[in-house]
Amino acid sequence: MRREIGMMKMLTFTTIVDEVAPWRPELRLFNFGEPLMHPGLGEMIRYAKLRGLAANFQTNGVLLDDNRSIALLESGVTYVGVSVNGLTESEYESIRPGCRLDDIRENVRHLRETAARMGISVHIHINAQILADESNSRRGDMERYIRYWEGIPDTLSVSGISLFDNIAVMKTGISSKISQSSLPRKDQANIVCTEPFDRLVIKWDGRITPCCADYDARLVLGQIGNQTLEEVWRGRTMADLRRMIEQKKYDSSELCRSCPKLYSHEFTMLFRKNINAQNEKIAK
C-alpha cells in the first residue's frame, strides 16, 4: 500500500453518519487498517448507535485487552469480527512474528466473559484465511481449528485469501510473496462483483472510493466535506463503473483489471455456535 495512513477525525465520521442515517446502512469501521488502534472507536460506535445505525468492525484481536473490551461493550457494539491468519498456532505465528494465537484466543474469551458479566449481547465471529487451493487438503487443520475455538465465538469461518498483488501469503507453512502476474487469471466473463452496487468505501482522510479492493484509493470519487455521498452514489463515475461490471468488461477499467477477484478463488465455510468437529455441518 502506497497511500498515506492516518486516523479518521471525529468530524469526518459524524459528517458521514449524519448524512447516511436516514438510509440506515450498516457501517463497517475498517478497511486496510486496525480499528482498535483508533482511540475514538468506542465514541464512533456510540455516535452511530445514537443515530440509529449498527456499526461493526473486524480486528486482528491483538489490542483487544480488558480496557478496550469494556469500552467497546459500553459503546453498544453488537458484532465483533476477529481475523486470524491461518488455521494453526505455528502458521499464525510465522505470519505475525511476535504475536501468539493463544493470546488472541484469551483476548476473545475475555471479551465473551466480560459481555456475559455486563449482561450485554454481542456476536463474536472468528475468521481464518487460507489459500483457496488448500481448502481440501487441510481438512485436518480445519477440524483442529474448530476445536481450538470451541465454546468462545458465536460463529467461526474459513475463507479464501484475496490475492492482492505481491501479498505475502502462507502456503503449507512457508511464507512467500505472490505476484499476480504469476497466477492464472480467471475469465472476466465469470467474475461477479456487487461492490459498487451496495457500498461506498471512505478512507480515513475522507476520500470516497467505490470498493474494498481499491486499497490505494486509485479511483477517488469525491471527498467528505466537498461532495455529499448521495452525489457520489448517483454520480457519473459510479454509473460508468456499474455499467462496465454489468457488461463484464473488467479489463476496460484500470482499477478492476488488477482486482483480486480476477485471480482469487473466493470461498467461505461457515461453522455455527458451539462448534464440534464431529457433528457440525460445513456450509459453503
Residue numbers of the site for ligand SF4 (CB under 6 A)? 193, 195-196, 210-211, 213-214, 250, 255-256, 259, 261
At its nearest, how many Å lie between ligand SF4 and the CB of residue 153? 27
At its nearest, how many Å lie between ligand SF4 and the CB of residue 57? 20
Complex with ligand SF4: residue 51 or 242, whichever CB lies closer? 242
At its nearest, how many Å lie between ligand SF4 and the CB of residue 86? 24
Cell of residue 173, nine digits: 507453512
Work out the number of other CB atoms within 10 angstroms of the CB of residue 129: 20
At its nearest, how many Å lie between ligand SF4 and the CB of residue 230? 19
CB distance 108 to 152 below 8 Å = yes
Complex with ligand SF4: residue 108 or 245, whichever CB lies closer? 245
Residue 126's nearest CA partner among 59, 77, 70 is 59
Complex with ligand SF4: residue 202 or 211, whichever CB lies closer? 211
List phi, psi (to 5°) of 240.
-65, -40
Q: What is the C-alpha separation between 164 and 123, in angstroms, rounded?
A: 29
At its nearest, how many Å lie between ligand SF4 and the CB of residue 185? 13
Residue 168's nearest CA partner among 77, 249, 85 is 85
At its nearest, how many Å lie between ligand SF4 and the CB of residue 188? 9
CB distance 110 to 100 below 8 Å = no
Complex with ligand SF4: residue 20 or 259, whichever CB lies closer? 259
CB distance 193 to 185 below 8 Å = no
Complex with ligand SF4: residue 4 or 254, whichever CB lies closer? 254
List phi, psi (to 5°) of 283.
-100, 130
Complex with ligand SF4: residue 124 or 211, whichever CB lies closer? 211
Residue 18 CA: distances (Å) to CA of 11, 14, 114, 210, 221 = 10, 6, 31, 20, 19
Q: Taking the alpha carbons of 223, 228, 233, 236 in that order, is the dihedral positive or negative?
A: negative
